[in-house]
Chain A
Amino acid sequence: DAGITQSPRHKVTETGTPVTLRCHQTENHRYMYWYRQDPGHGLRLIHYSYGVKDTDKGEVSDGYSVSRSKTEDFLLTLESATSSQTSVYFCAISEGTGGSQPQHFGDGTRLSIL
């Protein structure tokens, strides 16, 4: 199994509070991704990183920011959480860009915003 750890695994918070999700990998892969999964929408890319301090937006980036200060860690921040950001969040990693190498996923974080 790919060494990907997401934390926390579950979180309940209130509207307007900041939230940070962490993804930690032990595979030394260059590329890291944050997705959200919602019923009826499948998996959608929020942000991705192609190296330390190198990040870019995905399909649904509004309301989210990311940071990558070390190869192994990729943080997703909701500056002021809204109920529409209630979702299951997945981190993924790959050696190569986009689909050029297999992507492997963490176990997800279930986030509820009340």
Chain B
Amino acid sequence: GIQVEQSPPDLILQEGANSTLRCNFSDSVNNLQWFHQNPWGQLINLFYIPSGTKQNGRLSATTVATERYSLLYISSSQTTDSGVYFCAAPGAGSYQLTFGKGTKLSVIP
């Protein structure tokens, strides 16, 4: 099946800093999703992004399907951005989403 790798595994930021999270996948995909798991354990869908770039406030995501990666940008980070960020992609012809192991982000005041 498809392999999904995320980097870095851990990231500590000062409030106000910018960051880029990366997601690499082993096979071509026709879409990709980014999720945020907050410190209370809730999983929130941030982006559904087959290709190109999408923006939602201080967050934006870019997927380059031909090169098999996606990037999540967080600008002017806030303590509420802390948590774990997951990317997930479906395998070819698969009903299933395969998740990466996540990037744990800690934003400190």
Contacts and interface: CB of A to CB of B under 8 A. Distances in A.
A99 B97 contact: yes
Contact of A42 (B31, B89, B90, B101): B101
Contacts of A42: 86, 99-102
B96 interface: yes
B90 A99 contact: yes
Contacts of B94: 98
Interface extent on B, as a size class?
20 to 34
A98 B95 contact: yes
B9 to A, nearest CB: 11
Contacts, number: 60
Interface string A36-49: 00001111110010
A105 interface: yes
B57 interface: no
A100 B86 contact: no
Interface stretch (B13-21, B39-47, B66-74, B75-83): B39-47
Given A42-B86, A99-B32, A100-B90, A107 B42 contact: yes
Interface of B: 29-33, 35, 41-45, 48, 86, 88-91, 94-97, 99-102
